[in-house]
Structure 1
Amino acid sequence: MFRKLAAECFGTFWLVFGGCGSAVLAAAFPELGIGFAGVALAFGLTVLTMAFAVGHISGGHFNPAVTLGLWAGGRFPAKDVIGYIIAQVVGGIIAAGVLYVVASGKAGFDAAASGFASNGFGEHSPGGLLNAFGDCHRNCADLRLPAGYSRRNG
């Protein structure tokens, strides 16, 4: 069990360090050209690398929501859920701490002013994306769609 928890801790560390690190350290510099697409690519590549590196050991959850979803779906034993979540949270906290130390060395970095470890609300809220998804999702019951795409026909 220790190997599984260590794999989850390291995988979550890598996800937070690579994904959030790209957002904190590189997304603010237009001359680097990373932008939102680069941050999304960094998150995707960190998950990919950890899935290949340690996914065979722990299953490659790297996120408490994934662990809870697998448990709720009956695909993960309840006795392992708490250990996995603790390992993932510890990995994320360690990565955030390392990122804070690294970013603090950058001239002009202010954790509060830069929005370090914060979600965007207001004009940057994820609610806009959720609303767009909801609008599209309602159209999935359209009878003109192929049978596999419609709840009524599928």
Structure 2
Amino acid sequence: MNIRVNDRAVAAEFAGTALLVFFGVAAAAVAGPLIGPVGIALVFGLVLLALAYTLGPVSGAHLNPAVTFGLLLAGRIGLRTAVRYAVAQCAGGVAGAGVLYVLVRAIPGFTVHGAFGSNGWGTRSAVGIDGVGAFLAEAVLTMLLVLVVLGVTRRNAAPGVAGAAIGLTLSALVLVGLPLTGCGINPARSMGPALFAGGPALSQLWLFLAAPLAGGALAAGVDRLLHPVPRAAAVAGRDTVAVGSL
């Protein structure tokens, strides 16, 4: 199925990303000590799964600039659509983190500065991973996520499975990525809390913007090797978003 990109689709990307960031970062920053890494991973994955089925028919439910970038490079969307979606997603990430920031200010003793579910490396990593390792981890984890999105939203994909596959993949990636970098793999998710946390979270943000985009580009390259896109088909799809069976 193809979706004509309009203001409703852009609004869906904004709202969906805001919800994903609000609940995911809340799980990591507020509920983490109670629910543990498995609980955090399930929150991220289940929220994305629900949003995929809810917003998929409206916008394709990218909810991640790296996913949008991968779809752009794979010839599945046009540049204008990609830019509009990425701006909406980043704004949504900031909005979701902003609402959560207001909420946590009501929690006595809760510390936001330098933390707030943000991503990091070095002393801000549970295992002390360095910058090079953090970049590699974020790029590889994002590559798998985007590759799954590209695969399960193809026209010939099994109907009805895309949302579940993407949500479960995100949960698995969060489980792996949490001890390494806090698992960003989404520039909008990383940007939101970092802007409110400030300090080292903000100074390290560049990596969590660049590495997921690199991962999205790698996924698009692999997808093009596996499924070459005829030029005519790519041109015809510039103003639509292919969402497969979402």
Identify the TM-score tier after normalising by the shorter chain: 0.7 to 0.9
Shift of 1:117: 4.4
**SS of equivalent residue, structure 2 residue 98:** helix
Q: How does 1:3-152 map to 2 (within 5 A)?
A: 3-28=8-33, 32=34, 34-112=35-113, 115-122=115-122, 123-125=127-129, 127=133, 130=137
Task: Please give the TM-score of this superposition, normalised by the length of structure 1.
Answer: 0.75
RMSD across aligned positions (CA): 2.2
**SS of equivalent residue, structure 1 residue 82:** helix
Larger Rg: 1
Spell out, residue by residue over 1:89-130, the C-alpha distance to the aligned partner (whole angstroms, 9 max, x if none). Answer: 1111100101111111101012116x1142131235483783
* Structure 1 counterpart of 2:155: none
Cα distance between partner residues in 1 of 2:128 and 2:100: 22
Task: Please give the TM-score of this superposition, normalised by the length of structure 2.
Answer: 0.48
Q: Which amino acid aligns with 1:15?
A: L
Higher relative contact order (CA 8 A, sep 6+): 2
CA contact (8 A) 2:10 2:59 kept: yes
What percentage of residue pairs aligned between the two structures are identical?
A: 44
How many residues were matched structurally?
128
Q: Which amino acid aligns with 1:11?
A: G
Cα distance between partner residues in 2 of 1:25 and 1:125: 23
**SS of equivalent residue, structure 2 residue 62:** coil
Q: Which amino acid aligns with 1:68?
A: F
Runs (4+) of structure 1 exceeding 4 A deviation are none
